[in-house]
Structures are given as structure tokens and as C-alpha cells.
């Protein structure tokens, strides 16, 4: 099969040391590996200028996603995020938490945002406490969208986390401030 010609608009990965991938569900184990990678690169004797986190994820564990986001935000090295395939739910929150100006969607990436879902069983008091925690989680999500997009809370709630799933094209995600540019990948 002939190789597609690389264009000026493509992301040049071969010139980018420090690449990791978050493919699949966001889990504690995967996030632990990614956090170790970011920390390791930051304390390296010869750290790269930029880290690149490629993301193709339907979402997953929110507590793990926020742990990764904390490490990303503490990184001295800028973190370029590249969304390809699908970025949804917790995968989207991680993607948009990359360094502003460095959040790239590929032209065919599917983007989905929604309310988180959870389940719990227990007695009355346990359910009340779980409800309180769900309120905290929802606030953290809204606050993260506002930080990453500069949208007002009412716009975030209306356009990105209403009462149903929101599917966005890369162009729509760009317009809402979830990403900074749309590019292909030149390998």
C-alpha cells in the first residue's frame, strides 16, 4: 500500500520524543503508568521540550482521570494531547486538559461529552453520602470544562453536559474551545 504524502498541516511525530498513548478505557492501572511516564520525563536529566499524549478512549474511571489531570497540570513540560479515533467522557476531559495551544484533534476524531454515570447500593445514609459525592464530582467536571474552554458555566451545562450525550465534530469541538487545532498525522 502506498504511503500517503505528509503535508505541512500534519503532526510530525518522528520529531517528537516523549510520546505515550492512552488507548481504551481509562483505568487506574493505565493512569498509573501515564503518571509515572510524566513524572519520569519531568525529572529526567535530559527532558524533552514537549510530551505528547495520544488519546483514543471511550472514557472510564473519573477518579483516575482526575489523578492524571493533576499530574498533567503539575508538569513543567508542556503536554500536547492528540485526539484520534474517539475521545469521549473521561477521555475527553483528559484530552482538553492538555496544554492550551497544544490540543490537537485529527480530522476524523469522534468527540462525545455527557454527564457522568455511576451506581451505588447501600442503606439510606450511604446513599445520601454517595449523592453528596456525586454533586462534588459534577462540580469538578463543570469547573474543568470552564478552565479548559473559558466558556461560562451556563454554556458548559447547555452545550457540553446537558441531559443527553453530545456528539461533536472536530470543528464543533474546536469552536467550543475543547481543542486548539485540527490536523492529520504524518508518520
Give me the active site residues, please: 89, 114
Cα distances (angstroms) measured from residue 168 to each of 113, 162, 184: 8, 13, 18
SS3 126: helix
For 57, list phi and psi in degrees, rounded to 5.
-145, 135
Cα distances (angstroms) measured from residue 7 to each of 48, 53, 82, 95, 167: 24, 21, 17, 24, 28
Give the angle subtended at the CA of 150 by the CAs of 89 and 77, to the nearest 5°: 75
Amino acid at each position: 500500500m502506498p504511503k500517503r504524502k505528509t503535508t505541512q498541516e500534519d503532526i510530525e511525530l518522528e520529531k517528537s520524543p516523549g510520546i505515550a498513548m492512552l488507548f481504551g478505557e481509562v483505568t487506574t492501572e493505565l493512569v498509573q503508568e501515564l503518571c509515572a511516564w510524566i513524572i519520569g520525563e519531568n525529572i529526567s536529566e535530559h527532558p524533552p521540550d514537549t510530551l505528547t499524549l495520544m488519546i483514543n478512549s471511550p472514557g472510564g474511571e473519573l477518579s483516575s482521570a482526575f489523578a492524571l489531570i493533576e499530574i498533567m497540570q503539575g508538569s513543567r513540560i508542556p503536554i500536547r494531547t492528540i485526539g484520534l479515533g474517539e475521545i469521549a467522557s473521561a477521555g475527553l476531559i483528559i484530552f482538553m486538559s492538555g496544554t492550551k495551544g497544544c490540543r490537537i484533534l485529527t480530522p476524523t476524531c469522534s468527540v462525545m461529552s455527557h454527564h457522568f454515570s455511576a451506581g451505588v447500593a447501600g442503606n439510606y445514609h450511604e446513599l445520601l453520602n454517595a449523592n453528596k459525592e456525586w454533586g462534588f464530582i459534577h462540580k469538578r467536571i463543570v469547573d474543568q470544562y470552564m478552565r479548559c474552554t473559558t466558556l461560562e458555566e451556563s454554556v458548559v451545562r447547555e452545550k457540553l453536559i446537558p441531559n443527553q450525550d453530545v456528539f461533536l465534530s472536530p470543528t464543533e469541538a474546536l469552536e467550543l474551545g475543547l481543542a486548539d487545532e485540527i490536523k492529520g498525522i504524518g508518520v
